């Protein structure tokens, strides 16, 4: 863990190093992924079978696709308390995303031209669901429900099944979310299958969902062949907290992201040096209690940062430079600091709003931009599964009103056929 103070002479340089710490895939990953994509495109199902045997230790036979009935049985077999929790999460996620649905436009302007746009869902979407360290039914809900709300017709899940095993909670979530297909393939090869299609798996239009460095790199390389939600890197959390917080609470919040991945990053900004010490000590105590201690320890030791500032008024500028995936503001008046934060994937306001509540049942999507991409990107929404088609209708009278200007512009650009297609209708 690194500790910085904004008054230190070398703070600007040290903070710049924190900001530029990408913690993402290298050239070797990009090279390997490129080869896998090309192989799947060329050999289809045969390549998928080979990679599944190699990486998952599972020989695909007659079990490529997991039947809908198996997903329903997994849902029915859930402990009632857990089933109720999953249903509550789904209900709240659905309600939040239904409010995101955009409205079509259709109007006539002052020149008499009819203008508008129609929103339509993509035909098919592919959702990647990790199956190793990160087998999360919550992520399946966060990806599948916005797609269903958007009106996607075909919803496909690919998920690795190491040694043939799959988390029954993931299957239960697939049933609850209304997933149409579940396939036992993972890794970059699954992303290739969704993008290009194979003998068994038909291609989709959009691919979303978290994954390891190979999955993220595959999505990056295939953008343009299909739409993608984002290129996601390791998890991040920035906590802005004053000294009135319980250090144990803040320590747990930091570790809630550190336990995801050794490359995850947890950062605390506080205006209280004694509180910073207390949080650092609480992190050590909390790590010892975690079954994910090894991962959390690696993350905290390599990428954890505590920044002490003279006043929390400094925090928004630092937060905007970091553009973190998650930002918690644990103060009496979080709105005052929130007003200055322009770049963040999602913001959690107040002492009783831990980031973890947003991962499950709050409603907003937990698929968020990482690696400073919150400067230009947003979290997953229904819009990631939709596209907008504009339309226009010009009458003879309205063409007379606006057509001459279009002719002038076409001629200025040297595009005679453009000009002529309008002039002929204008009779000039």
Active site residue 326: yes
Q: What percentage of the chain's residues is helix, strand, coil (to nearest 5)? A: 50, 15, 35
Tokens 């895939």: give the residue.
Answer: 25
Q: Is 189 annotated as a binding residue?
A: yes
Q: Is 128 annotated as a binding residue?
A: yes
Which of 181, 325, 328, 355 is catalytic? The answer is 325
Q: Is 413 annotated as a binding residue?
A: yes
Q: Is 5 annotated as a binding residue?
A: no
CB atoms within 10 A of CB 289: 9
All residues at 6 or more sequence positions from 239 whose CB lies less than 8 Å from its CB, including other chains: 250, 253, 254, 266, 267, 268, 269, 327, 328, 330
Q: Is 212 annotated as a binding residue?
A: yes
Q: Is 244 annotated as a binding residue?
A: no
Token digits of residue 111: 């020149």
Q: Is 221 annotated as a binding residue?
A: no
CB atoms within 10 A of CB 134: 14
Give dist(CA 393, CA 372) in Å, integer.
Answer: 42
Give dist(CA 407, CA 418) in Å, integer.
Answer: 8
Q: Is 235 annotated as a binding residue?
A: yes
Which strand ranges, in their side-by-side order, compose the sheet holding 305-308?
Answer: 2-5, 305-308, 265-270, 236-241, 326-330, 346-349
Cβ atoms 237, 324 nearer than 8 A: yes
Q: Is 260 annotated as a binding residue?
A: yes
Token digits of residue 294: 């090894």
Give dist(CA 125, CA 138) in Å, integer.
Answer: 18
13: exposed, middle or buried (C-beta count within 10 Å: 0-12, 13-18, 19+)? Answer: exposed
Which of 303, 326, 343, 366 is catalytic? The answer is 326
Q: Is 326 annotated as a binding residue?
A: yes
Residue set of the binding site for NAD(+): 128, 189, 212
Residue set of the binding site for substrate: 235, 257, 260, 326, 359, 413, 418
The catalytic residues are: 325-326
Residue set of the binding site: 128, 189, 212, 235, 257, 260, 326, 359, 413, 418
């Amino acid at each position: 863990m690194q500790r910085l103070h904004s008054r230190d002479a070398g703070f600007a340089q040290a903070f710049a190093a924190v900001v530029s710490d990408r913690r993402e895939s290298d050239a070797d990953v990009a090279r390997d992924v490129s080869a896998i994509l090309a192989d799947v495109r060329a050999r289809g199902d045969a390549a998928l079978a080979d990679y599944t045997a190699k990486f998952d230790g599972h020989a695909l036979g007659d079990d490529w696709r997991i039947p809908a009935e198996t997903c329903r049985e997994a849902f029915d077999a859930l402990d009632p308390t857990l089933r109720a929790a999953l249903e509550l999460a789904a209900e709240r996620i659905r309600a939040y995303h239904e409010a995101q649905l955009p409205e079509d436009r259709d109007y006539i302007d002052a020149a008499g031209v009819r203008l508008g746009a129609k929103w339509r869902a993509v035909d098919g979407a592919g959702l990647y669901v990790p199956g190793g360290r990160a087998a999360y039914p919550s992520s399946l809900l966060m990806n599948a429900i916005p797609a269903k709300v958007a009106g996607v017709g075909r919803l496909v899940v690919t998920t690795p099944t190491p040694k043939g095993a799959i988390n029954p909670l993931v299957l239960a979530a697939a049933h609850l979310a209304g997933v149409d297909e579940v396939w036992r393939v993972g890794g970059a090869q699954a992303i290739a299958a969704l993008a290009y299609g194979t003998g068994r798996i038909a291609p989709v239009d959009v691919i979303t969902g978290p994954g390891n460095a190979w999955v993220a790199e595959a999505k990056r390389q295939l953008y343009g062949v299909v739409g993608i939600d984002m290129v996601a890197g390791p998890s991040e959390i920035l906590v802005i907290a004053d000294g009135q917080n319980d250090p144990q609470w803040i320590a747990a919040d930091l570790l809630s992201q550190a336990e995801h991945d050794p490359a995850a990053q947890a950062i605390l900004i506080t205006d209280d040096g004694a509180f910073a010490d207390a949080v650092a000590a609480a992190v050590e105590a909390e790590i010892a209690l975690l079954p994910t201690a090894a991962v959390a320890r690696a993350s905290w030791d390599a990428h954890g940062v505590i920044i002490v500032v003279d006043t929390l008024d400094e925090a928004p500028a630092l937060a905007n430079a970091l553009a973190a995936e998650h930002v918690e503001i644990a103060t009496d008046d979080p709105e005052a600091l929130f007003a200055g934060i322009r770049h963040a994937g999602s913001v959690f306001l107040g002492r009783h709003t831990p980031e973890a509540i947003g991962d499950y049942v709050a409603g907003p999507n937990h698929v968020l931009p990482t690696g400073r991409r919150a400067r230009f990107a947003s979290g997953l929404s229904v819009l990631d599964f939709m596209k907008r088609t504009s339309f226009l209708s010009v009458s003879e009278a309205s063409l007379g009103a606006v057509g001459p200007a279009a002719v002038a512009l076409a001629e200025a650009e040297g595009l005679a056929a453009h000009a002529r297609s309008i002039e002929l209708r204008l009779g000039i």
